[in-house]
Amino acid sequence: MSDELVSKIKSRFDHATQKKLLREKYSSKLTFAHAGGMWKASPELATQCNLCLANGNFNPVFEDLYSTPVKVDAEELKNLTLQRWQEQMNAWLDEHEELSKQR
């Protein structure tokens, strides 16, 4: 194999590895504490909060990351979830775009 081909293969492998590391980095930053429980910001959690609010259940009991039942303020948890989600997705996008430029 030529050195150029080996270099391209290595570059693509390094890029894939860097993408995985970015995913792990930002996945861990989605975790936050609220109302005595630990939560992971996600569209699913925001949707669960919205469903409770739509049904008039403003203080539902949710299961947190450690399988502990926690009574929460659905509006507050939804807002924290959406804020954390958007902050981390924007930061992840910025780093991903920078990584793509280096490629």
Q: Measure the N-to-C terminal CA separation of the chain; round to a whole number of Å.
A: 21
103 residues of the chain, pLDDT tens digit each: 577 755 665 655 577 888 899 999 999 999 999 999 999 999 999 999 999 999 999 999 999 999 999 999 999 999 999 999 999 999 999 999 988 887 5
Give the Cα separation of 63 and 69 in Å (integer): 5
Q: What single letter denotes the amino acid at residue 62?
A: F
Beta bridge partners, 40, equal: 31
Give the residue ranges of DSSP H helices in 29-102: 43-54, 74-102
At residue 10, the pLDDT reads 61
Compute the chain's Rg from CA coordinates.
19
pLDDT of 9: 55
pLDDT at 8: 60
